Amino acid sequence: MDALIQVILSGLTLGAMYALGSIGLALTYGTMRMFNMAHGVFMTLGAYPFAQPVQLAGAFRIAGSSIPYQSLAILVLAGILLGGMGLLLTRTRFGLSIRATAMNLEAAQLMGVRTGRTYLTVLLMAGALAGAAGVMISSLSTLSPEMGTNPAVRAFVICVVAGLGSVPGAGIAAIILGLFEAVVQFYVGARYGLPLMLGLVIIVLIFRPAGLFGRQEVVRS
């Protein structure tokens, strides 16, 4: 039971950090139909202003298992940021303009949406989420100039699994793959996490080419 709780906690923590990065990437693609290849750089830049991230010492116990305050803080902060992003996209006028631009650029422009400003704001929002993810990742690993590379690769993988441009799907897929990686790390070894995740992606795409939450586009001639 203790091992199960630790694996679930580790998976949720990884998933929360991956969700921050992948949702920003999915939002950029869904709105602009392009991947921001500098996404990993934003993660690194976010971590470097906090070269010594806040470390919460101590832990509390649940069912005999030790739960670090640091992991709990990551989960709470990620939940707040993702919840705020969800409210922004679904409950505000600006969120409506983002969704309109993503659905039909020309129609959004005809309705008066300033798509150039929307694009810029989406990039800034995605960069802010990536920076927050970088701060969290650096609090659990070593700070280095290339620290954003592996998380950026995972964010891309998650977006592909979820379905390109699916923001809610990216969040769900991030949690699923975070739990999957935690299980692999615990039972097989940390170095096998990414290779087996890529293998899982291949399997998913064989049966769901558009991703778990994506829609197959039909082109009529």
* Most confident of the following: 48-52, 56-60, 128-132, 161-165: 128-132
Domain that residue 79 falls in: 2-207
Query: Is 132 contained in some domain?
Result: yes
Q: What is the DSSP string of 168-193?
A: HHHHHHHHHHHHHHHHHHHHT-GGGH
Nearest to 193 by CA among 212, 204, 169, 177: 177
**C-alpha–C-alpha distance, residues 138 and 146, integer Å:** 11
Q: What is the mean pLDDT of residues 6-24?
A: 90
Phi (first) and psi of residue 61, to 5 degrees: -115, 135
pLDDT tens-digit profile of 121-153? 999 999 899 988 888 888 887 778 888 888 888
Q: What is the mean pLDDT of residues 89-98?
A: 89
Query: Is 91 contained in some domain?
Result: yes
Residue 219 has pLDDT above 50, yes or no: no
- Number of domains composing the chain: 1
Query: Is 213 contained in some domain?
Result: no
Q: Three-state DSSP class for 113?
A: coil
pLDDT in the model for residue 79: 92
Query: Is 221 contained in some domain?
Result: no
Nearest to 139 by CA among 77, 66, 65, 60: 77
Q: According to DSSP H, which parts of the chain are helical? A: 2-32, 39-47, 69-91, 93-103, 105-110, 115-138, 149-162, 167-187, 193-207
Query: Is 94 contained in some domain?
Result: yes
Query: Is 181 contained in some domain?
Result: yes
pTM summary value: 0.86
Query: Is 212 contained in some domain?
Result: no
Residue 218 has pLDDT above 60, yes or no: no
Query: Is 214 contained in some domain?
Result: no
